């Protein structure tokens, strides 16, 4: 290999390493911890349908459209289903009254705030309006 080819090879390797460094840095940038993460939704759940029967009991929950809806003493809450750490589906734990991510043990309170683990941001919360047997979830 002559000197000219050697310098070209070194230049290409340098560019590759620079690109790799940028790629790795972009993967490690944290999500803004003050910004809740979750989809924008507007849907309804009919409480008289068998698929939503668990919402008739205290602590019962249903996942739909990327959102977890929970019955807390007749008051319904809704949060984004996807954990802000790696996107695993969180579930509601009525025993501890919180949302738990099964992948890395992250937990969130009923207002979506991170209470432990690696999640970098809270879960997005949604407005829930009950009209008769219909819940409208939006946000």
List the CATH number of the domain containing 71.
Answer: 2.102.10.10
State the Cα–Cα distance between residues 13 and 8, nearest whole angstrom.
9
pLDDT bucket at 4, cuts 50 / 70 / 90? low
pLDDT of residue 11: 55
* pLDDT exceeds cutoff 50 at 124: yes
Q: How many CB atoms lie within 10 A of CB 66?
A: 15
CA torsion sign, 133 to 90 to 126 to 75? positive
Domain with 15 in it: 1-30
pLDDT of residue 16: 46
State the Cα–Cα distance between residues 27 and 40, nearest whole angstrom.
24
* pLDDT exceeds cutoff 80 at 138: yes
- Structural domains in the chain (count): 2
Q: Are residues 47 and 26 in the same domain?
A: no
pLDDT of residue 37: 78
Q: What angle do CA 128, 87, 113 make, to 5 degrees?
A: 50
SS3 state at 87: coil
- How far from each other are the two terminal CA atoms of the chain, in whole angstroms? 63
- The model's pLDDT over 38-97, given as tens digits with 9 standing for 90+, comes to 899 999 999 999 999 999 999 999 999 999 999 998 899 999 999 999 999 999 999 999
Q: Are residues 46 and 26 in the same domain?
A: no
pTM of the model: 0.75
* pLDDT exceeds cutoff 60 at 113: yes
- The model's pLDDT over 5-55, given as tens digits with 9 standing for 90+, comes to 655 555 555 544 444 444 344 344 444 456 787 899 999 999 999 999 999
- Fill in the DSSP letter of residue 2: -
pLDDT of residue 15: 44
Under 8 Å between Cβ of 126 and 42: no
Q: Residue 36: inside a domain, yes or no?
A: no
Q: Are residues 50 and 110 in the same domain?
A: yes
Residue 127, beta-bridge partner list:
138
State the Cα–Cα distance between residues 5 and 7, nearest whole angstrom.
5
């Amino acid at each position: 290999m002559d000197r000219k080819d050697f310098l070209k090879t070194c230049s290409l390797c340098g560019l590759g390493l620079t690109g790799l460094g940028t790629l790795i840095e972009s993967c490690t940038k944290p999500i803004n911890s003050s910004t809740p993460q979750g989809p924008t939704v507007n849907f309804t759940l009919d409480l008289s349908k068998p698929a939503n029967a668990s919402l008739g009991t205290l602590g019962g929950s249903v996942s739909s459209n990327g959102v977890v809806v929970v019955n807390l003493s007749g008051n319904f809450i809704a949060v984004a289903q996807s954990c802000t750490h790696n996107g695993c589906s969180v579930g509601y734990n009525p025993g501890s009254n919180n949302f738990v991510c099964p992948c890395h043990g992250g937990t969130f309170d009923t207002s979506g705030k991170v209470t432990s683990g690696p999640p970098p941001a809270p879960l997005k919360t949604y407005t829930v309006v009950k009209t008769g047997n219909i819940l409208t979830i939006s946000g």
